[in-house]
Structure 1
Amino acid sequence: MTVQAPYGTWPSPIDAGTVAAHDGRPEFLGSVGEELWWTEPRPEEGGRRALLRLAADGRHPPVSVLPAPWNVRNRVIEYGGLPWAGAPRSEGGPLIVFTHFADQRLYALEPDAPDARPRPLTPLSEVTDGGLRWCDPVVLPERGEAWCVLEEFTGEGPTDVRRVLAAVPLDGSAAEDRGRVRELTGDGDRFLTGPRLSPDGRRLAWLAWDHPAMPWDGTRAMTARIRDDGTLETPRAVAGGREESVAQAEFSTDGSLLIASDSSGWWNLQRVDVEAAETAEATEPGRGPVVPRVPLCPREEEFAGAAWKIGQRWFAPLPGGLVAALHGRGAQRLGVLDPETGELVDAAGPWTEWAPFLAVIDSRVTGVAASPRTSHEIVELDTRTGHTVVLASHHKDHVDPAYYPEPQIRTFTGPDGRDIHAHIYPPHHPDHTAPAGELPPYVVWVHGGPTSRAPLVLDLEIAYFTSRGIGVAEVNYGGSTGYGREYRNRLRQQWGVVDVEDCAAVARTLAREGTADPARLAIRGGSAGGWTSAASLTSPLAEGLYACGTVTYPILDLTGWATGETHDFESQYLESLVGPLSEVPGRYRERSPLHQAQRVAVPFLLLQGLDDVICPPVQCERFLEQVKGRGVSHAYLAFEGEGHGFRRADTIVRAVEAELSLYSHTFGLRREDVPPLELRS
């Protein structure tokens, strides 16, 4: 029987506890011999990342190798990177190295040993808050070392830091002696990815870039020959440059170097002649050497993405020469590429989005995949048969899937006729409808980054709202990844303009066409999405459009953020997003919500982690001082023990319920399933 009730008042079995329990996804999938290993979130255990192991025979479910409080995660570039690696051994089982979040040390683990306890490989840092950090390791038992990225803080400031490739002894001798760590490269490059070895072990490849570039702006693929004593010959840039982003470099099984480069305007796969590149000279400053490259599958699609974490893998060479590759416009699906013919065959199955974590065992490719009806699963493709199977993290319907939203992929028209990509999630309930003529409230969701995108996958937080009768519009505004470099570059010097305009254009179109109630529109986002949400409440470009907003761990003061209030990785990001501070200081002030706080006229919710070093709470505190006494209803919830991105179950529950409470208050909805939000003026 269908029940008629106003939008936003519908009952739902998807509560905030369900949302919190299933927040996050498996990450950093890899193979160790015939086994699969990966990390997985544990919101109910304080938000730690567990390390899981799936035996080669597949007869038993995966096991968590380390008990709480072991947390397999690191803080390199603050967003972290590949936190573990392993190598099979002829006796004694595999050898695993991993980073522990609490002290940022690198540890070794022999999981099959009688007393399988982690032992430290690197020293405790003399600098508080993790002055020595490690990521993206490769375990080399034959050399008795693990090679990885070392991030070392040299002072108290967030940009007092150096990064090099380093070799850590596996015998533990560096646990008390920093001098036992061999540095493989100099610290002339500000940022590095971890090493990738050629099949014969004689050559190394990695990526490097420097301020003010971000990795999606300009990177260089570096190679170096490895001497017999384990030192490197002079590294050479073999591809990339200031206006070319190489997102991944990997040796194929025949020893050739494969890269994902956007030199064509799209991240496509290319083969580089390493021998020729290492002896060629660059023709212009800031550009890589001009050497022949072979495009493997030229398409106006992305075969890679933005490297927010070090060690992501969008493609993986297979024995015999085939290449497993993620590709697509917007969403990325898994395909198998024949680099000799350019033929690309997609994997069968319902999965529409694959995360950049591919692992290869013989002819089998395993990845992390999801769809609008399924959560992220560990999926294996047998390239010989084309058969796909879910190996682990099987999707389970914890509520009736009839409550899941039914998304629409749409392209909207923005200012100057530009395309704006978005996912629209209308209110959806199996047995509730709204009274005839009523239009639903809608919330515009703004993804972080901003150089990122919103994937089209099952998200129980979206379902939490849509099943209650509140629509969601996820906007992949100009600057988002997935649509080529030109689309990404729309945001250059236009942050706070293009993103605000694009979100507003989607909201206005939904209202104009009768999809959304124009009087009940809201906006929300976290990090860079928090910036756009706050900017939308303070910018004349969206004046009078939104009835309220939820702003989570945001950037609110551009000048402060550009002068020491964030971490090293993004400390010069605003050079491209806004412009050089020395040249356009007025632009930094004019666009900052902090300096336009007098324009806020609607209720808002501000959510912040007190341990956040990327978007620190001081920015929220200054913003609140500016709105105090102006008669604007607002709430501020700050969470101890949370950094940039909420991970703990109790935090997620409180944040989700507070957001719904804000909408209930603003839109006049009657709800008794969430505690009222205490608003102050």
Structure 2
Amino acid sequence: MLPHGTWPTPIDAALVAAHDGRPEYLGAVGGELWWTEPRPEEGGRRALMRLRAPGGAVSGDAPEEPESVLPEPWNVRNRVMEYGGLPWAAVPRARGGPLLVFTHHGDQRLYAVEPDVPGSAPRPLTPVSGVGGGLRWADPVLRPGRDEVWCVLEEFTGERPTDVRRVPAAVPLDGSAAEDRTRVRELSRDGTAVGGGDFVTGPRVSPDGRHVAWLAWDHPRMPWDGTELRLAELTGDGVPGEARTVLGGPEESVAQVEWAADGSLLAVTDASGWWNLHRVDPGGGPSVNLCPREEEFGDALWRPGQRWFAPLEDGTVAVLHGRGAKRLGVLDPRTGAVVDATGPWTEWSAALAVDGTRVVGIAAGPHTAHEIVELDTATGHSTVVAAHHTDPVDPAYYPVPVPRTVTAPGGREVHAQVYPPRNPRARGPQGTPPPYVIWAHGGPTGRAPAVLDLEIAYFTSRGIGVAEVNYGGSTGYGRAYRERLRGRWGVVDVEDCAAVARALADEGSADRRRLAIRGGSAGGWTAAVSLTSPAAADVYACGTISYPILEPESWSGDATHDFESRYLEGLIGHPDRDAERYRRRSPARNAARLTVPFLLLQGLDDAICPPEQCERFLAALAGAGGEPVPHTYLTFAGEGHGFRRAETIVRAVEAELELYRRTFGAR
């Protein structure tokens, strides 16, 4: 028997860093599969990958190996809305191989390249702007017949983070706009952009080329609060006519729009209280719910280009659906029946691609990392075609999640997944429950998936339990569950996390004296408030706070990026009318209540949660008087919101473990 936190394990911080991140932005290109994947060992860049013959594994042939489309230093990523959006598009061609356009993170320009043409190098399609954050591009759609790529243009008009506009735009493929901003054609009518909102997604053109659809929303709404599906007719020269709203509104969230092969307009909307798939009447008449269920067929639209459903050529629709976790199914719109794919995968990313009868997605499970999985709808057969999961260590060191529902104040249900310590070579002292760390996910409009995560295994294999809490406000459980957080951020999330911690202690699963809380971004806020709020007084012995919000009263307007600059109006209240509410919940203003050790982690290039908040928080703590609170503050040059570099991840994970060992007495 060994003290918790000291169990020998092959899962070290370098292994965690090597497996950080997952494939994203999957698409089908003429029978091939393309996607981006993380490269922590290459400075955290995103590589664009290509699988030339994904059907090989299905047919029994030796499977092809994926190849990188672009060498270092090309980083296929953008910063539209700061979190980025779909960064690439490609189309097959009869000669010369595919044509690819992509955004490069280094300069945010849009590039084109013919990767199969010998000697072809990426050539810029868009110019550089020295104004504010410059020009950014996302969610591209190639229209070779018009020699254009249509996408979202995000343009800074001044030096402030909120001096920004977004419109659907057409960029010529001949490179004429590379040095000339005027050559970019905004999709407008009479000089007025048809976007019609502070935020827009990329345009979707109907199969007959006569209509274009997109989503739009305005401050202070976030896309999960209320969005509008806009539709416009296209003239023969590709100019949109007057835009009309055909679905959605201030209290209805439309998460995705696509055209089916037969010209039907499909969208996911939460008009029923759940994100369900609807057929939309382009004339503005009532939409038809194709599968009315108290399940989610969509999720929070954090990044333009996310895809929870994909129409197939035969009229059926590949869908992701469920409560909490989402599974892959095929929906028959005529009957409303859904046939689910088989396999061990319990979580699917918003990145569906279709090709003929094939549906391909990115999926994971409690015992597998994210893989690229193909479903042949003609046979019902599912198989992994790329990013195959391999166990770097004995799976006996992996934790096994236990779904839990606990009761929080007011009798509300709170969902969580609990990961007890697990190690085939060690166990803790008899009669001594293990320490536990409560993980608060980011967002806060998001959800923690129950998938294999070596960072969780890093702690559980050492004898420290982890509980991920999908507190009120999380997605996956309907609009009413999301709106529990409205006006109550810093209350409901704190109470729900504490309820899970107390439930584990009350039942004897966790040591009441050795509980911790950790989180990043919005989860960093929840962790910080939990350590400074009476609602969680005496629950936690320490905490880890990563790239957090610490001053809600200053985290608005020009103090953060435009996308979330008014997010807190829904989460807390109006900064002026509800100023006292902001002050009551602010970790910086309540630093004197913090009495337990903590670790604070921050990227110095973070445009979302700037490091100045951490510095002012620590200054407030130092000026609070009393006994100094033990803490460690680590900053990382070159890191933004969330850590991508292997060396950063290693240092952060090891520092967190050291905090728990010191606090829990596990040395």
Q: TM-score, normalised by structure 2?
A: 0.97
- Indicate the residue corresponding to 1:215 in structure 2: 223
Deviations 1:78-104 (A, max 9, x none): 000000001111111110100000000
**Could you tell which deviates more after superposition, 188-197 or 52-61?**
52-61
1:406 aligns with 2:397: no
| Rounded Cα–Cα distance in structure 1 between residues aligned with 2:204 and 2:352 | 15
- Indicate the residue corresponding to 2:426 in structure 1: 432
| Rounded Cα–Cα distance in structure 1 between residues aligned with 2:215 and 2:442 | 24
1:137 aligns with 2:134: no
- Indicate the residue corresponding to 2:414 in structure 1: 420
| Rounded Cα–Cα distance in structure 2 between residues aligned with 1:664 and 1:122 | 51
| Rounded Cα–Cα distance in structure 1 between residues aligned with 2:484 and 2:468 | 18
**What is the aligned counterpart of 1:202 among 194, 200, 210?**
210
**What is the aligned counterpart of 1:124 among 125, 128, 143?**
128
Within 5 Å, which residues of 2 pair with 1:452-601? 452-601=446-595
| Rounded Cα–Cα distance in structure 2 between residues aligned with 1:411 and 1:106 | 46
**What is the aligned counterpart of 1:67 among 71, 76, 83?**
71
Any unmatched runs of 5+ in structure 1? 278-290, 671-681
- Indicate the residue corresponding to 1:184 in structure 2: 187
**What is the aligned counterpart of 2:234 among 211, 226, 241?**
226
Within 5 Å, which residues of 2 pair with 1:120-519? 120-127=124-131, 130-185=133-188, 186=193, 188-274=196-282, 276-277=283-284, 291-519=285-513
Q: Secondary structure at the match of 1:142?
A: helix
- Indicate the residue corresponding to 1:110 in structure 2: 114
| Rounded Cα–Cα distance in structure 2 between residues aligned with 1:77 and 1:520 | 39
Q: Offset of 1:124 from its aligned partner? A: 1.4
Q: Offset of 1:486 from its aligned partner? A: 0.2
Q: Offset of 1:563 from its aligned partner? A: 3.9
| Rounded Cα–Cα distance in structure 1 between residues aligned with 2:308 and 2:196 | 27
Q: Secondary structure at the match of 1:23?
A: coil
| Rounded Cα–Cα distance in structure 1 between residues aligned with 2:151 and 2:238 | 14
Contact map agreement 2:8 2:425 (CA 8 A) in 1? no
- Indicate the residue corresponding to 1:651 in structure 2: 648
Q: Secondary structure at the match of 1:560?
A: coil
Q: Offset of 1:431 from its aligned partner? A: 2.1
Q: Secondary structure at the match of 2:559?
A: coil
Q: Secondary structure at the match of 2:396?
A: helix
- Indicate the residue corresponding to 2:638 in structure 1: 641
Q: Secondary structure at the match of 1:523?
A: strand
Deviations 1:291-341 (A, max 9, x none): 221111110000000011110000000001000000000000000000000
Deviations 1:54-95 (A, max 9, x none): 113644211001111100000000000000001111111110
Deviations 1:243-280 (A, max 9, x none): 00000011111101111000000000010111x21xxx
Identity of aligned residues (%): 70
Q: Offset of 1:654 from its aligned partner? A: 0.2
Q: Secondary structure at the match of 1:561?
A: coil
1:43 aligns with 2:40: yes
Deviations 1:627-675 (A, max 9, x none): 12641000100000000010000000000000000000101111xxxxx
1:100 aligns with 2:98: no
- Note closer, same or farther for the CA distance 1:70–1:566 as it changes in structure 2 (3 Å cut): same
| Rounded Cα–Cα distance in structure 1 between residues aligned with 2:437 and 2:302 | 26
Amino acid at match of 2:427: T
Alignment length, in residue pairs? 652
Deviations 1:486-521 (A, max 9, x none): 000000000000000000000011101101000000
**What is the aligned counterpart of 2:3 among 3, 6, 15?**
6
Q: Stretches of 4+ moved more than 6 A in 1?
A: none
| Rounded Cα–Cα distance in structure 2 between residues aligned with 1:127 and 1:368 | 37
Amino acid at match of 1:17: A
Q: Secondary structure at the match of 2:588?
A: helix
Amino acid at match of 1:20: A
Deviations 1:567-593 (A, max 9, x none): 000000011000111211111111000
| Rounded Cα–Cα distance in structure 2 between residues aligned with 1:126 and 1:248 | 33
**Could you tell which deviates more after superposition, 459-468 or 226-235?**
226-235
| Rounded Cα–Cα distance in structure 2 between residues aligned with 1:224 and 1:563 | 32
Amino acid at match of 1:132: L
| Rounded Cα–Cα distance in structure 2 between residues aligned with 1:188 and 1:200 | 24
Any unmatched runs of 5+ in structure 2? 57-62
| Rounded Cα–Cα distance in structure 2 between residues aligned with 1:345 and 1:193 | 30
Amino acid at match of 2:353: A
Q: Secondary structure at the match of 1:538?
A: coil
Q: CA RMSD in A?
A: 0.9
Contact map agreement 2:100 2:113 (CA 8 A) in 1? yes
- Indicate the residue corresponding to 1:677 in structure 2: none
Deviations 1:319-375 (A, max 9, x none): 010000000000000000000000100001000000000000001000000000000
